[in-house]
Amino acid sequence: MSLQEDSTMKKTTHSCFLLIILLIRMVPSLSSTVNYTDPTLEPVVTENSVIRQKIIDSQFKCYERMNRAPPYKKKGLFCNRTWDGWLCWDDTPAGRITAQNCPDYFPDFDPTERASKYCDETGNWFRHPESNRTWSNYTLCNSFTSEKLKMAFILYYMAIVGHALSITSLLISLAIFFYFKSLSCQRITLHKNLFFSYVLNSVFTIAHLIAVVPNPGLVKRDPASCKVLQFFHQYMLGCNYFWMLCEGIYLHTLIVVAVFAEEQRLHWYYLLGWGMSLVISVVTVVSDQFFQVFEYL
């Protein structure tokens, strides 16, 4: 090879080397022009990622639990503690079936049902005959899910319809009480307040059933609107019971204590019927917020 060809090859090699370096240096600059840290964008959380995170958390807790648990000290063969991919299983004597509640990873799994795992007589976890792999029985976890879901939907719509009918009948009763002035007396006044508390309770119950029950994501986010709705729902539920108490106190006072008294002071009944439930609801909200703040400290 001549000196001229050798010089030309070196120049070509040098040029290629410089070009590669230039491209390498340009790649970060090109990628840096894309804004990956936009604070207005939130990471996309899919249902699968949430399920996967739940399983990972359960697996971590399982291994921590297995490491902390003392060794198996009973006599005889046993199956070692293990993580099967969904649940954590403790040491189990040979020939026994161990069971626990189903996991809540999947929408069609019922946590009230039971999953089981069999430890055979040789001290080994049961292997499925088709796959020849250790197998846990999760068949009951979703066997009756569809039937329970149908029943839940039936009860859900029955509750909405029932409260709607209750509102209708109570409003008709209140209209009768207000229209016929001859019915005006202290006892009817207590009835009006009791019926009105029932109407408001049914209204907030229907709002809770429509807005909160079918929307589990709303419960997880726990916005202020959800808290306000829950507050009034609990407040009106308490008012129902306190106004029933007022009815009982009024009748007891009318029949036993003041047989010949014509009228009673109703402002104490208003205070008990509408005020006591408000005090209890406010105390509940304040204490709940206090304990939530205390948990973060």
- pLDDT digits over 182-196, tens only? 888 888 999 999 999
Q: Is the dihedral of CA 89, 94, 99, 104 positive or negative?
A: positive
159 and 107 both lie in a single domain = no
Q: Which of 280, 269, 267 is nearest to 237 (CA)?
A: 280
Domain final residue pick, 78, 111, 137: 137
Q: Under 8 Å CB-to-CB from 274, ≥6 apart: which residues? A: 193, 239, 242
Lowest model confidence (mean pLDDT) among 25-39, 93-107, 111-125, 257-271 = 25-39
Domain extent, residue 195, equals 146-296
Query: How many domains are there within the chain?
Result: 2
- Dihedral (CA of 100, 103, 108, 111) sign: positive
The mean of the pLDDT values for the chain is: 81
Considering the domain architecture, whether residues 180 and 126 belong to the same structural domain is answered as: no
Query: How are the residues of the chain apportioned to helix, strand and coil, as percentages rounded to the nearest 5?
Result: 65, 10, 30
Do 61 and 120 lie in one domain? The reply is yes
- Domain-located, residue 243: yes
Least confident of 47-61, 160-174, 215-229: 215-229
Q: Which of 104, 137, 170 is the last residue of a domain?
A: 137
Residue 123 covered by a domain: yes
DSSP 8-state code for residue 133: S
Instruction: Please check whether residues 118 and 69 belong to one and the same domain.
Output: yes
Q: State the Rg of the chain over Cα.
A: 35
For the stretch 121-150, pLDDT in tens is: 999 999 999 999 999 999 999 887 778 788
The two tokens of residue 4 are 């001229």
Q: Give the span between the Cα atoms of 16 and 36, in whole angstroms.
A: 32
CATH classification of the domain holding 254? 1.20.1070.10
Lookup result for tokens 């004597």: 93
- Kindly report the CATH number assigned to the domain that includes residue 108: 4.10.1240.10
Higher per-residue confidence, 48 vs 167: 167
Please give the pLDDT value at position 213.
83
Mean pLDDT (whole number) for 55-71: 93
Q: Which helix (H) or strand (E) holds 2?
A: none
Cα 124 from Cα 101, distance rounded (Å)? 22
Spatial CA neighbour of 99 closest among 119, 115, 80: 115
Place of tokens 């205390």: 294
Claim to verify: residue 114 and residue 151 sit in the same structural domain: no
Bridge partners of 100, per DSSP, are 115
Query: What 3-state class would DSSP assign to 125?
Result: strand
Same domain for 292 and 150, yes or no, is yes
Last residue of a domain, one of 106, 137, 168: 137
Three-state SS at 167: helix
On whether both 201 and 68 belong to a single domain, the answer is no
